[in-house]
Amino acid sequence: MTQPDIHSDELFRFAEEASLQEEAAVALPSWRCLIVDDDEGVHQAIVFAMSGLVVEGGLIEWLHASSAAAAREILGRERDIAVVILDVVMEHERAGLDLVRAIRSELGLGDTRIVLHTGQPGFAPEIAAIRDYDINDYRTKSELTRNHVYTCLAAAIRTYRQIRSINAGRAQLRQIVQAGNRLMGESDQAAFATTALVQLAELFGVAPLGCALLHDEGGEPKQIRVVATCCPPDYRQEDVLPSQGGPDQDLCQRSLNGSGLEFGDNGLALTIRARSGVCLVLYLRIASTLIERVDASVLDTFVAHVGAALDNRGLLWQLHHDAYYDRLLGLPNRRRLCDLIDTRCTAGVQSDTVLALIDVDRFGEINEALGQSFGDALLQALVDRLLASVPQEVTLSRVSADVFAVFGSIDWVTPEHLLPLFATPLLVNEEETMVSVTIGLTRLADVEDGNGSTVMEAAFQALRIAKTTQRGQLAWYSPEQSRRTHERVSLLNGLRLALRNEGLFVVFQPQVTLKERRLIGLEALVRWRTESGNLIEPERFIQVAEQSGLIREIGFFVLRQACSVLAELHDESGAELRMAINVSAIQFRHPAFLVVLRQIIEESGIDPSHLELEITESIAMEDTAYVRETLDALHEMGIQIAIDDFGTGYSSLAQLKALAVDRLKIDRAFVRDLRKADADASIAGVVVQLGRRLGKGVIAEGVETEAQASLLVSMGCLEGQGYLFAKPMELDVLKAWIRSQAQQTVSSV
């Protein structure tokens, strides 16, 4: 939404300007007001807004500061400033709040009124600042229209004038200020009302004898209820309540409907209104002869102060509610649920308690297809069904956009109770809608060192497992899952460290012709050596790297190393070897893949035709424009493409024939299963025949015995790699191996 321009003249149109200017011409007292803002336009706008206007019988004398530091210096020497209009965010995001503390605590300016405003609504004043430092008002800069500025200043100056006049000789002021602090400390409605009634009695110097009534102007027109009573032990509670239909009740009603303060023969009624529409009526039994002890200005101040406390209490309640409850559905949120779980764990009653997380399947797609309003209505319908079905002692919570928690006794929070709730359609906008949910459950007793956070994470682990297995299902958490998760996290952290500290390195396994055993290429493979010198098996860390997305960075690391080694070997031996490098699906699909690949090839200076990229069968079979375009681009660069572990996926022969693929790689599992009797009919044999018919090269990996090599040759497979020929080697060992192979070749000749 477009923010209004606070400098616009249209925002500052005000009635009866001529009469105001005539009034301003008369000599009037002035109120000194300090504007603290690093935006010069705000200073000009506020001064312009109040130009010529009389506020509480006086004109405004403006002082200006462009920073909190400058304002502190002015306030240190000028002690009669009525109002400080203060920007929350200036030199830094806490500059305004720090100045508020300085005004009250260090400079001791308890009379000066403070009006906060901000152009960044996210930097709202913290609860402690509102509660402890007597802030008069808080506005966004977009609200600083002429009417708002005038109203805000009038209220602030009125309060300032009243406080100053009372300070001249009335001890009641101290009681009022102290009352405000006590009122802000009261946690519930009854305690707040009781404290206000006691403070009113102290102003008159009488014992608190009466009651407090509450009315919400936004509710039922005649709904007014007693929320607190004050009576000594020798009184009955009925004695302090306004008699039904009697003059005291009429007194309270007149106070509520009229000016706010009404006197009667037996007491007084004082109505305090909050901006939210809530009205607090204080009924105090007091002799009419004692009423003159407090004049109207003191009562006005008391009303303003208690009203401000009532407003602040409402603000605190709203902030507290938003911190612990979901605004859309009114349910406890994740933070509140964690607190409840903490309480249950601390009490040592985990054994009979279960937390279930219910995830609405494909909720994002529903929102996208049918709109957010429909999605909100669907969530509300789901919550209505859950609330109607779960016992009162079971807690229902919303922990994320489409995930709900059911927390309670193991006697109720079970799949048998939860799953049937979603077997019938929900009524959404008067239409029946079926929803599918996935559920993760955990027993609190199964979570080691259980608290809100760990139990919640355990339930989310179970939910992730259920979603991975099959949506619409459920899974229970087990401690073994936590152990595996901690292991994955530890591996991932170590992997990131290894990538930065050269813990990863590349080894090379020779590829040879199966008949002549002539070296034709190398496959680059990544390895991880920890700081303690231990080697981590690739099977352990590659999957973690893929799940975390770190595989892309690792893939480019291997690519750089392999291309550099290939260039070095070509320079030293002159042999035209090819280098095979695995490319993960994440790396292949990255938009910058081709750009980075070209850069690496250019930096290394290799001929792209000597580079072979190995991709998985699943990538090759993706019928997407991006995959086809990328494969075509690689072929145009002269790079060869091999399908790794061919036969382990599901390939379309028509698609395979059309793809720009040069070589099929027989998986080691198929090589291991080779038998002489059925070699041609084996999967390895089928792959060889398929490669021949499609015009693709074939290479077998995992060749470990002469028998396997002989069978592969007899089937027509010409190339292979495996422990029969050489293990993966670091560069120095590889160079020595290449030299020894060259010497053997010379000797045999």
Describe the crossing of helices 452-469 and 479-500 by its angle, rounded to 10 degrees.
90
DSSP alpha helices (H): ranges in 674-727? 683-694, 706-715
pLDDT band (50, 70, 90) for residue 25? very low
pLDDT for res 580: 96
Q: How many helices (H) and strands (E) does the chain have?
A: 27, 26
d(CA 373, CA 67): 44
Residue-range domains of the chain with CATH: 9-167 (3.40.50.2300), 177-324 (3.30.450.40), 334-477 (3.30.70.270), 501-748 (3.20.20.450)
Over 60: is that where the pLDDT of 746 sits? Answer: no
- Segment 297-314 mean pLDDT: 79
* Rounded alpha-carbon distances, angstroms, from residue 51 to 45, 66, 114, 149: 10, 20, 20, 11
Model confidence, pTM: 0.50
Consecutive H or E run containing 566? helix 551-573
Q: What is the pLDDT of residues 510-547, one digit of tens each?
A: 999 999 999 999 999 999 998 888 899 888 888 888 88
Nearest to 117 by CA among 91, 135, 92, 98: 135
- Segment 97-116 mean pLDDT: 88
* Rounded alpha-carbon distances, angstroms, from residue 39 to 6, 86, 212: 12, 11, 46
d(CA 474, CA 462): 8
Instruction: Tell me the backbone φ, ψ of residue 506, rounded to 5 degrees.
Output: -115, 135
Pairing of strands 353-360, 403-409: antiparallel
96/142: higher pLDDT: 96
Sign of CA dihedral 162, 163, 164, 168: positive
- Segment 327-353 mean pLDDT: 84
* Rounded alpha-carbon distances, angstroms, from residue 209 to 197, 199, 242, 300, 584: 9, 12, 12, 21, 80
- Sheet containing strand 474-476, edge to edge, reads 395-400, 403-409, 353-360, 437-443, 474-476
Q: What is the pLDDT of residues 466-492, one digit of tens each?
A: 888 777 889 998 888 777 777 888 888
pLDDT band (50, 70, 90) for residue 204? confident
Over 50: is that where the pLDDT of 716 sits? Answer: yes
pLDDT for res 176: 58
Nearest to 467 by CA among 424, 437, 435: 437
Over 70: is that where the pLDDT of 698 sits? Answer: yes
Q: What is the pLDDT of residues 612-641, one digit of tens each?
A: 999 987 787 776 677 888 888 999 999 999
d(CA 395, CA 337): 8
Q: By the 8 A CB rule, do 113 and 85 touch? A: no
Instruction: Tell me the backbone φ, ψ of residue 131, rounded to 5 degrees.
Output: -75, -45
Pairing of strands 426-428, 267-273: unpaired
DSSP string, 338-349: HHHHHHHHHTT-
Over 80: is that where the pLDDT of 55 sits? Answer: yes
- Segment 710-726 mean pLDDT: 94
d(CA 348, CA 631): 60
Q: By the 8 A CB rule, do 146 and 14 touch? A: yes
Beta strands (DSSP E) in 545-622 are 578-582, 611-616
Token readout for 445 is 């007793």
DSSP symbol at 419: G
d(CA 75, CA 64): 11
* Rounded alpha-carbon distances, angstroms, from residue 538 to 149, 425, 481, 491, 499: 68, 48, 21, 11, 14
Amino acid at residue number 432 = E
The mean of the pLDDT values for the chain is 83
Amino acid at residue number 708 = Q
